Structure 1
Amino acid sequence: MKLIKLDAIDSTNDFLKSLASQDEPDNFTVVTAENQTKGKGQMGSKWQSESGKNLVMSVLVKDFLYDNEQVFNLSIIVSLAVIDALKSLNIPKLSIKWPNDIMSYNKKIGGILIENTLKSDGRIVSVVGIGLNVNQTNYEHLPNASSLAVICKTQFDKNVLPVLIVDKIKERIEFWQTNSTEFWREYFNSLFKKGIPMPFKNLKNENFMGIIQGVSSIGKIQILLEDDSVSEFEIKEVQMLY
């Protein structure tokens, strides 16, 4: 795996996308940064990280996706790979808050943003951005956030994480064709608050109760409503209140 370490950058995803458009980087090329000034979350939200304390990385994934209808498969692979890596470090009570926030107990410790580019020859090239709270301890203005250091009461070597995570991504991709059904089941079983009545908010700012039932093949969350119907929601169409 090729590793490009940067001191500061606006966005590791943008840097790697630019690199991929100008050159043909090796599959699983990784970019990390000590400080990211314009980190991105899902649907344009911002990812804030204290300089030097956390893992900020992007990894290039090629030759996996060939159909726009299958892009959520990569979200499943990456989410589970990050969980695998954290389990190997004995991080407790891990789960995935749909679509791909990484949780420990009820606190968000990481997030994933995947940006896909369709090439002229039909290939889909993906840049997978991963932010993981490692050694930051101050979350005064982020009550739902935490870090590995806070949860485990010890500091971690964040430099071992990129290799560990990419190895887990490679492993999941290698076994996808024969284990995709099991991986989907594993993803669902790892979902935060699945099967539990929870309050949600929709785009109209209306609150409602629902129970997470599953995730569709294209990544929409399926929620059982109080009238016993099941509705599907895309990213940012619904917010869990917890």
Structure 2
Amino acid sequence: MPIIKLNAIDSTNTFIKEMISAKTVKHFTVVTTNHQTSGKGQMGTVWLSEPSKNLMFSVFVDVSKYKLEFPFYISMVVALALKQSLNTFLIPKLYIKWPNDILSQNKKICGILIENVMKQGAVNASIIGVGLNVNQTNFTALPNASSLKNITGRVFDLDELLDSIIFNMKLYFSKLEEGNFMELKAAYESFLFRKNKPSTFKDAKGNLFVGYIKSVEDSGHLQVMLEDNITKSFALKDITLMY
């Protein structure tokens, strides 16, 4: 498993894309950096991070031999791998906030950005970008964010965290390759933030409404029960789950 360590880079996902265009990239190639100057999050957001205090990396995963009808399962297994690793470091009250943010004590500690490489209409590979807040303590401009140090009071070794996360990614991707879709989906849904609780959502027009998260479809769409027990399916671009 090649690990490329960089001092500073604009985006580890972008770096892997450039590697792909230049040559063949090996399965589970990892690119990590001390400082990411233009980190990206979901829906075009920016991921800001203090140098050398957090874990920022991307992984190239070849899924060309997987029987993968629904690409959202990649998002599921990555979130499950992150949660499993954080469990081993005794991070409390972990949840997955749809689609794949990792929360501890209702604060965001980890964001995941997955960019799939398509070939002949199917997912051929995935570039998985992970930003984990580790030893940074100042989140003045981000009231919903926290870090492992803020939550536990401990300082963490970034390499040790990375090794654990890659180990669990391999474990969960092997489950995906074996076709254990029901097991993975059940595990993912069991850790969903605000599942079966009255929750506030914002739609694409900025309107707020209340509903209950019931499940996630194979496509990744969120099933939300609204008034009069009507359940509606929402895509990621349609709604935002508020904290």
Contact 1:94 1:104 in 2 (8 A): yes
Secondary structure of 1:227's partner? helix
Cα distance per residue 1:193-222 (max 9 Å; x no partner): 100001111111111110001111110111
* Structure 1 residue ranges without an equivalent (≥5): none
**Per the alignment, do residues 69 and 82 of structure 1 end up closer, same or farther by CA in structure 2, a change over 3 Å counting?**
same
Contact 2:113 2:128 in 1 (8 A): yes
The corresponding residue for 1:25 is 25
The answer to whether the aligner puts 1:112 opposite 2:95 as a matched pair is no
Contact 1:97 1:103 in 2 (8 A): yes
RMSD: 1.7
Q: CA deviation at 1:227?
A: 2.7
TM-score by length of 1: 0.95
Q: CA deviation at 1:65?
A: 6.8
Instruction: Map 1:188-199 to 2 at 5 A.
Output: 188-199=189-200
The amino acid that maps onto 1:204 is K
The corresponding residue for 1:70 is 70
The corresponding residue for 2:231 is 230
Hey, what's the Cα distance between the residues in 2 that align with 1:9 and 1:65? 31
The amino acid that maps onto 2:226 is L
Over 4 Å off, 4+ runs: 64-69, 120-123
TM-score by length of 2: 0.95
Contact 1:65 1:71 in 2 (8 A): no
Hey, what's the Cα distance between the residues in 2 that align with 1:123 and 1:198? 33
Secondary structure of 2:197's partner? coil
Hey, what's the Cα distance between the residues in 2 that align with 1:18 and 1:179? 32
The corresponding residue for 1:211 is 212
* Structure 2 residue ranges without an equivalent (≥5): none
Instruction: Map 1:162-173 to 2 at 5 A.
Output: 162-173=162-173
Hey, what's the Cα distance between the residues in 2 that align with 1:9 and 1:181? 38
The corresponding residue for 1:133 is 133
The percent of aligned pairs where both chains have the same amino acid is 46
Secondary structure of 1:114's partner? strand
Contact 2:58 2:129 in 1 (8 A): yes
Hey, what's the Cα distance between the residues in 2 that align with 1:62 and 1:118? 11
Count of paired positions: 242
Q: CA deviation at 1:125?
A: 1.4
The corresponding residue for 2:85 is 85
Q: CA deviation at 1:34?
A: 0.7
Cα distance per residue 1:151-203 (max 9 Å; x no partner): 00010001112221111111112223253211110100000110000111111
